[in-house]
């Protein structure tokens, strides 16, 4: 295939005769080159892009004046082959890299063209002779300009290719997300049907009068109640994640005392812990805890989720609640530590993603939506904190930690303004 420079030369009618004329012209033009450089650099700093691209001050301009003369010499002594094309392409690319728009290179070439025409006028008073040189000069300037501009095209293509790749990846991610969501929907429909079937089945038994004793009836009603509660928690999770996805999660931030929060949350998992023979330790008991700024209901929801998970996935040992001031964030760090089955390091980030469950088997056994940690992360972030997972005691189990801003600190105020400006209005509704 014909190379770019050969194609341009053919198009411009640039042949051996032009090469010969330009080579003759070279020595005659040499004396004008310093002035060309002066003229060039007295004009191009006025280009709109100049302030941004000339960052090296006078020293840079002085150096560039030399470089420009070198470039101009090349016009007259060039071999006009692939190496020449590459050199001009690289000069053009240098301008792409400094962020100069192509239109300024084109107009700057006009400065060169005008100046060199003036030189020809002085050198060749006879118009027919001047015309011959002028034509060849014009061709080589066109050639150079095209070669320099080719680098802009190349950069655009590269940019588009990179963008394409990004889009392809985004597309794959979307397809993956959609697949995960489909799987989630299939799973959650099953999860919803289970307690609903229990409720329907048990109430029908009662309504059909199939219970022998009032005690038996109460037993069934207790099951109906537990199933309804379970169903409600599933529905709540789905509503929460829907609100979060739509950016409409409302928080009511206020000063709260962590003691009250801990005292009202721990008992909610105490029975499950005792039933499994686990020790539930509140290691914050003796501590003087600072006031925090959070949404009490939502923070309790997060803490309860962490404690429930800890109890659920710990067959033996203990679940402990800890708190301390974290440096350097100056926030309260709350930790739920367990001696359970643990989460491998490579999954410690994944578990916070929406619709991703630890493993199909595990989440199915746990009978939840698998959304708890994703919801928790968003809630904690909306309150201005962070949440993460580390190794549990002696490398066993897990330690899930979260941070909450202290009341009255800048961190407590800053969250919504810098993280989710467009959602600000919905916070604290």
Part of the chain binding ligand HEM (CB under 6 A), chosen from 43-51, 231-239, 377-385, 391-399: 43-51
Interface residue with ligand HEM among 53, 96, 241, 292 (CB under 6 A) is 53
Interface residue with ligand HEM among 20, 62, 83, 98 (CB under 6 A) is 98
Question: Residue 225's closest CA among 247, 252, 195?
Answer: 195
Handedness of CA 253, 244, 302, 325 (dihedral sign): negative
The answer to the question of residue 116 lying near ligand HEM (CB under 6 A) is no
DSSP classification of residue 230: H
The answer to the question of residue 75 lying near ligand HEM (CB under 6 A) is no
- Interface size with ligand HEM, residues (CB under 6 A): 23
The answer to the question of residue 71 lying near ligand HEM (CB under 6 A) is yes
The answer to the question of residue 137 lying near ligand HEM (CB under 6 A) is no
Task: Using the minimum distance from each CB to ligand HEM, give the nearer residue, 3 or 67.
Answer: 67
| Smallest separation, CB 98 to ligand HEM (Å) | 4
Part of the chain binding ligand HEM (CB under 6 A), chosen from 62-70, 175-183, 241-249, 323-331: 62-70
The answer to the question of residue 19 lying near ligand HEM (CB under 6 A) is no
The answer to the question of residue 88 lying near ligand HEM (CB under 6 A) is no
Part of the chain binding ligand HEM (CB under 6 A), chosen from 47-55, 210-218, 384-392, 407-415: 47-55
Strand 254-256 to strand 292-294: parallel, antiparallel, or no bridges (unpaired)?
A: antiparallel
For the chain, the maximum distance between any two Cα atoms, rounded to a whole number of angstroms, is: 125
- Residue 302 contacts residue 380 (beta carbons within 8 Å): yes
The answer to the question of residue 377 lying near ligand HEM (CB under 6 A) is no
Under 8 Å CB-to-CB from 110, ≥6 apart: which residues? Answer: none
The rounded distance, in Å, linking the Cα atoms of 378 and 372 is 10
The answer to the question of residue 94 lying near ligand HEM (CB under 6 A) is yes
The answer to the question of residue 60 lying near ligand HEM (CB under 6 A) is yes
Which token pair is 391? 């190794």
The answer to the question of residue 47 lying near ligand HEM (CB under 6 A) is yes
223: helix, strand or coil? helix
Which token pair is 110? 């006009």
Task: Using the minimum distance from each CB to ligand HEM, give the nearer residue, 108 or 400.
Answer: 108
The answer to the question of residue 112 lying near ligand HEM (CB under 6 A) is yes
Part of the chain binding ligand HEM (CB under 6 A), chosen from 5-13, 87-95, 156-164, 295-303: 87-95
The rounded distance, in Å, linking the Cα atoms of 299 and 380 is 7
The answer to the question of residue 91 lying near ligand HEM (CB under 6 A) is yes
Under 8 Å CB-to-CB from 392, ≥6 apart: which residues? Answer: 337, 338, 339, 340, 342, 398, 399
- Residue 406 contacts residue 290 (beta carbons within 8 Å): yes
Task: Using the minimum distance from each CB to ligand HEM, give the nearer residue, 44 or 238.
Answer: 44
357: helix, strand or coil? coil
| Smallest separation, CB 46 to ligand HEM (Å) | 8
The rounded distance, in Å, linking the Cα atoms of 207 and 204 is 5
If one counts every other C-beta atom within 10 angstroms of the C-beta of residue 336, the result is 24
| Smallest separation, CB 76 to ligand HEM (Å) | 14
| Smallest separation, CB 40 to ligand HEM (Å) | 8
The answer to the question of residue 231 lying near ligand HEM (CB under 6 A) is no
Question: How far, in Å, are 189, 190, 285, 296 from residue 193 at the CA level?
Answer: 6, 5, 41, 31
Interface residue with ligand HEM among 49, 194, 272, 426 (CB under 6 A) is 49
Alpha-helical regions (H) of 54-100: 57-77, 82-97
Interface residue with ligand HEM among 14, 32, 54, 84 (CB under 6 A) is 54
- Residue 389 contacts residue 343 (beta carbons within 8 Å): yes
Measured in whole angstroms, how far is the alpha carbon of residue 358 from the centre of its chain? 24
Strand 318-326 to strand 387-391: parallel, antiparallel, or no bridges (unpaired)?
A: unpaired
Measured in whole angstroms, how far is the alpha carbon of residue 376 from the centre of its chain? 21
DSSP lists the bridge partners of residue 323 as 334
Interface residue with ligand HEM among 108, 311, 375, 400 (CB under 6 A) is 108
Task: Using the minimum distance from each CB to ligand HEM, give the nearer residue, 8 or 53.
Answer: 53
| Smallest separation, CB 10 to ligand HEM (Å) | 23
Q: Identify the residue whose tokens are 């609903």.
A: 196
Task: Using the minimum distance from each CB to ligand HEM, give the nearer residue, 73 or 276.
Answer: 73
Task: Using the minimum distance from each CB to ligand HEM, give the nearer residue, 37 or 356.
Answer: 37
Question: What residues make contact with ligand HEM under the rule CB under 6 A?
Answer: 44, 47, 49-50, 53-54, 56, 60, 64, 67-68, 71, 90-91, 94-95, 98, 100, 104-105, 108-109, 112
């Amino acid at each position: 295939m014909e190379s770019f420079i050969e194609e341009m030369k053919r198009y411009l009618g640039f042949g051996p005769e032009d090469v010969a004329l330009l080579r003759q012209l070279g020595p005659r033009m040499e004396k004008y080159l310093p002035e060309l450089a002066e003229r060039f650099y007295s004009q191009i700093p006025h280009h709109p892009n100049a302030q941004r691209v000339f960052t090296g001050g006078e020293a840079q301009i002085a150096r560039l004046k030399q470089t420009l003369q070198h470039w101009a010499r090349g016009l007259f002594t060039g071999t006009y082959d692939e190496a020449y094309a590459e050199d001009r392409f690289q000069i053009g690319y240098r301008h792409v890299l400094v962020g100069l728009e192509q239109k300024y290179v084109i107009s700057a070439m006009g400065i060169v063209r005008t100046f060199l025409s003036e030189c020809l006028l002085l050198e060749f008073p006879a118009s027919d002779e001047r015309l011959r040189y002028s034509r060849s000069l014009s061709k080589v300037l066109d050639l150079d300009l095209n070669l320099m501009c080719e680098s802009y095209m190349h950069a655009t293509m590269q940019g588009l290719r990179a963008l394409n790749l990004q889009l392809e990846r985004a597309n794959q991610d979307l397809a993956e997300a959609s697949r995960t969501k489909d799987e989630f929907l299939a799973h959650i429909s099953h999860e919803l049907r289970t307690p609903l079937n229990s409720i329907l089945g048990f109430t029908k038994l009662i309504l059909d009068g199939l219970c022998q004793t009032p005690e038996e009836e109460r037993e069934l009603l207790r099951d109906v109640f537990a199933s309804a509660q379970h169903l409600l928690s599933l529905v709540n999770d789905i509503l929460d994640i829907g609100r979060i996805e739509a950016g409409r999660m409302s928080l009511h931030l206020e000063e709260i005392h962590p003691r009250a929060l801990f005292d009202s949350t721990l008992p909610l998992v105490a029975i499950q812990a005792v039933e499994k023979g686990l020790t539930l330790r509140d290691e914050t008991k003796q501590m003087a805890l600072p006031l925090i700024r959070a949404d009490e209901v939502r923070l309790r929801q997060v803490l309860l989720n962490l404690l429930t998970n800890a109890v659920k996935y710990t067959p033996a040992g203990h679940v402990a609640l800890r708190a301390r001031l974290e440096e350097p964030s100056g926030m309260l760090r709350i930790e739920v530590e367990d001696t359970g089955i643990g989460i491998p390091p490579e999954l410690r980030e994944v578990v916070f993603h929406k619709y991703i469950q630890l493993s199909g088997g595990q989440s199915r056994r746990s009978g939840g939506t698998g959304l708890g940690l994703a919801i928790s992360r968003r809630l904690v972030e909306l309150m201005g904190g962070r949440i993460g997972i580390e190794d549990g005691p002696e490398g066993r189990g897990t330690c899930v930690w979260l941070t909450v801003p202290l009341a009255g600190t800048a961190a407590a105020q800053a969250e919504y303004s810098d993280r989710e400006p467009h959602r600000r209005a919905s916070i604290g509704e």
